[in-house]
Amino acid sequence: MASTAGAKRLDGKVALITGAARGIGEATARLFCKHGAKVVIADILDKLGQQVADDLGPSWAIFVYCDVTIESDVAKAVDIAVSTFGKLDIFHNNAGIGGEPESNILQNTQTDFERVLKVNLVGYFLGTKHAARVMIPNCSGNIIMTASSAASVAGVAPHAYVCSKHGVVGLTENAATELGKYGVRVNCISPYLVDTHLTRVDYKYTDDDFKKAYTYLNGAVLTKDDVAMAALFLASDEAGYISGHNLLVDGGFSISKSI
């Protein structure tokens, strides 16, 4: 089998990534471009998103304002991807929020619960729907979703976040079952704790908290780039017969908690 080392694994592909102005989405956008893909940076963070697109260059990336909870925004982002680059091969549902860090259900509010599900799950439904709209006629496509190891282990995150990520895994499996007959693959990635704006701001993690968290691979730290590499694999032809899969990127965290 020929080695793919140094090869551009997404050469000629077009990808749209939500929540790509920073964090995992930004790391994935940069890696996809490095591997030959044209990328649409979709986010509500105008300045940061445009900075990423400018840094990658107009031949490789554009920024599109997109609130994933508004269907017309999602539809427009998909249409712009197609009109700008001629097609859409990869849609990465990645935008997400943590919500209230409070894990006590008596302290959780209905407003926050609904807000988290609207971004983390309804947003992914809309992204999947409009990606499928343009992928089905081409009988090919690749939809990736960012779930979480919190969908595999109970008691590690607030209720709203956990429920949203369980929903993402369910949406992945259901969409994969439906869209497979059109040649569209659907998978999700479930990372363990990553040092991002969400964990720092929403969950109030400190440097000490992160140091204590990485005990599953002899202290190896999970980074945004590690998660981006998992997305690259699922987006590439190397994963051509993988669909409906939840790829855990957690260093063994999930299985250690289930023993």
Which residues are designated catalytic?
148, 161, 165
- Side chain identity at 122, as an amino acid letter? V
Q: At what angle do helices 159-179 and 123-135 cross, to 10 degrees?
A: 20
Give rounded-to-5 percent helix, strand, coil for the chain. Answer: 50, 15, 35
Compute φ and ψ for 36, nearest 5 degrees. 95, 5
CB-count exposure of residue 11 (10 Å: 0-12, 13-18, 19+): exposed
DSSP character at residue 199: I
Contact (CB, 8 A) for 15 and 25 = no
Helices 46-56 and 23-34, packing angle to 10 deg: 20
Question: What stretch of H or E contains 79?
Answer: helix 71-85
